[in-house]
């Protein structure tokens, strides 16, 4: 009998965000192999739909940490960083992001060994992010303590996560992650190419990209009879706009062994997206979503993309209906003499010079030209979501 962890998606109050900085963590682990994102039940005799939004690299450079500090309260808060992008994230049924920092506690540091305030995770949840992938090259930036405190903090905030584990027993209970929503069952797997040369301390586990391990995990995922199997990979060469042979090879390996969706991160720039349909089978790959938030300012590192995958189910059979991307850009306004960070949905603000100012608008324009040129030339069946200012709605480009 599966034990189901029901996660209620709600906004945490600002007081909670303050309290978490000094929270005495309850490290009790609830054994589970299924994450129920909601408690709704839907008859499989009717059409049902599901949307999953994937978000790229959540970085935590020193300037971001400084920008999140509130001099008036002496606490950290990132809510304002995500307030413009939150409506886009929240409209998806499920939102999944790559957490490329540790929550290792004080002292907070940026590159090269990241430890962000707990408030970052709280604000991601407030913005609508439901699940965090934690296997990446920065998972061990603060060694064993950092890995374990990150897990403890996410557990205390009721944020489901996968990719790193305290030990083999906990991994066995919770991996592959099974997500249930709207009558759909989704398997989520997460791996990284390395941990920057830092060895994993026993008994901790960081999922590494390894064909034997991935094949075994995909077999275990298929045994749970999911509607779709998604692999979130941390791979590729930094700052390269094209996937390399390694990415292409492992993408095909995952597909050959049962995955139908592969999402990539790590290059810190966007790479192509491909959706193919063959009879009743659909396959999707997004090789790299780029930076969601960071202090990397050289274009195209100053922006990223979120991909939304839309599913439909009838009579127990699920298929990928379509997929589209939202371009995002990191805006750094000067507010009351302090530099701040704002993740913007690009289409909504690309012509708003009154909001951005001339200099920022020019920088955003450089990024959007690079991004659209790449996606227009190389994407297969994955168009852009465009904001309609009259209807104030997002529409997939025809």
| Model pLDDT, residue 279 | 81
* Range of the structural domain that residue 271 is part of: 4-396
Q: Are 256 and 284 in contact (CB under 8 A)?
A: no
Please give the backbone phi and psi of residue 261, each rounded to the nearest 5 degrees, phi first. Answer: -135, 130
DSSP one-letter string for 294-344: -S--STTTTEEEEEEEEEEEETTEEEEEEEEEEEEEEE--EETTEE--EEE
Q: Are 137 and 196 in contact (CB under 8 A)?
A: yes
**What DSSP state is assigned to residue 251?**
H
Output the tens digit of pLDDT for each of the chain's 398 residues: 333 333 333 333 333 333 343 333 332 333 345 676 654 444 444 579 999 999 999 999 999 999 999 999 999 999 999 999 999 999 999 999 999 999 999 999 999 999 999 999 999 999 999 999 999 999 999 999 999 999 999 999 999 999 999 999 999 999 999 999 999 999 999 999 999 999 999 999 999 999 999 999 999 999 999 999 999 999 999 999 999 999 999 999 999 999 999 999 999 999 999 999 988 789 999 999 999 999 999 999 999 999 999 999 988 899 999 999 999 999 999 999 999 999 999 999 999 999 999 999 999 999 999 999 999 999 999 999 999 999 999 999 98
Q: Name 318's Cβ contacts closer than 8 Å, sequence gap at least 6.
A: 184, 227, 228, 311, 312
CA distances to 5, 187, 229 from 181, rounded to whole Å, are: 13, 12, 14
- Closest by Cα among 252, 317, 329 to 287: 252
Q: Which two tokens stand for residue 299?
A: 């274009």
- Helical ranges in the chain per DSSP H: 14-20, 62-68, 79-82, 86-90, 119-126, 143-156, 168-174, 211-223, 245-256, 346-349, 353-356, 358-378
CA dihedral 250, 255, 256, 259 (to 10 degrees): 120
Classify the C-alpha dihedral 367-370-376-381 as positive or negative. negative
Q: pTM for the full model?
A: 0.89
- Contact 214/257 with Cβ under 8 angstroms? yes
- Count how many domains the chain has: 1
* CB of 83 closer than 8 Å to CB of 119: no
List 317's β-bridge partners, or say none. Answer: 314
CATH code: domain of residue 370? 3.60.21
Sheet holding 228-234, edge to edge: 4-6, 34-36, 177-181, 184-192, 228-234, 261-265, 281-286, 273-278
CB-CB neighbours of 70 under 10 Å: 13
């Amino acid at each position: 009998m599966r034990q189901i962890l029901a996660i209620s998606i709600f906004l945490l109050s600002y007081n909670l965000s303050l309290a978490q900085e000094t929270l005495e963590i309850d490290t009790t682990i609830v054994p589970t192999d299924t994450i129920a994102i909601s408690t709704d039940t839907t008859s499989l005799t009717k059409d049902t739909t599901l949307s999953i939004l994937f978000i790229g690299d959540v970085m935590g450079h020193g300037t971001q940490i400084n920008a999140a500090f509130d001099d008036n309260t002496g606490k950290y808060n990132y809510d304002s960083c995500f307030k413009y992008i939150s409506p886009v994230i929240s409209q998806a049924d499920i939102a999944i992001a790559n957490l490329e920092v540790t929550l290792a506690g004080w002292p907070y540091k940026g590159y090269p060994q990241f430890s962000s305030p707990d408030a970052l995770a709280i604000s991601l949840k407030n913005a609508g992010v439901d699940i965090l992938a934690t296997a990446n090259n920065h998972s061990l930036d603060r060694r064993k303590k950092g890995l374990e405190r990150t897990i403890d903090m996410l557990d205390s905030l009721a944020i489901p996560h996968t990719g790193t584990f305290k030990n083999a027993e906990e991994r066995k209970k919770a991996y592959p992650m099974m997500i249930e929503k709207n009558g759909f069952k989704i398997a989520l797997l997460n791996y990284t190419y390395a941990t920057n040369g830092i060895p994993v301390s026993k008994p901790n586990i960081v999922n590494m990209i390894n064909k034997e391990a991935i094949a075994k995990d995909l077999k275990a995922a298929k045994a749970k009879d999911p509607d779709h199997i998604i692999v979130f990979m941390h791979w590729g060469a930094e700052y390269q706009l094209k996937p390399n042979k390694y990415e292409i090879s492992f993408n095909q390996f995952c597909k050959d062994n049962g995955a139908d969706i592969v999402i990539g991160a790590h290059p810190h720039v966007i790479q192509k997206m491909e959706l193919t349909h063959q009879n009743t089978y659909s396959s999707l790959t997004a090789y790299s979503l780029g930076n969601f938030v960071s202090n990397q300012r050289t274009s195209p590192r100053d922006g990223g993309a979120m991909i939304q995958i839309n599913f439909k189910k009838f009579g127990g059979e699920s298929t990928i209906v379509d997929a589209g991307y939202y371009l995002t850009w990191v805006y750094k306004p000067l507010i009351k003499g302090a530099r701040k960070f704002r993740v913007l949905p690009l289409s909504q603000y690309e012509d708003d010079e009154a909001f951005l100012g001339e200099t920022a608008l020019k920088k955003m324009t450089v990024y959007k030209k690079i991004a659209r040129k790449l996606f227009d030339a190389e994407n297969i069946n994955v168009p852009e979501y465009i904001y309609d200012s009259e209807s104030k709605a997002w529409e997939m480009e025809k």
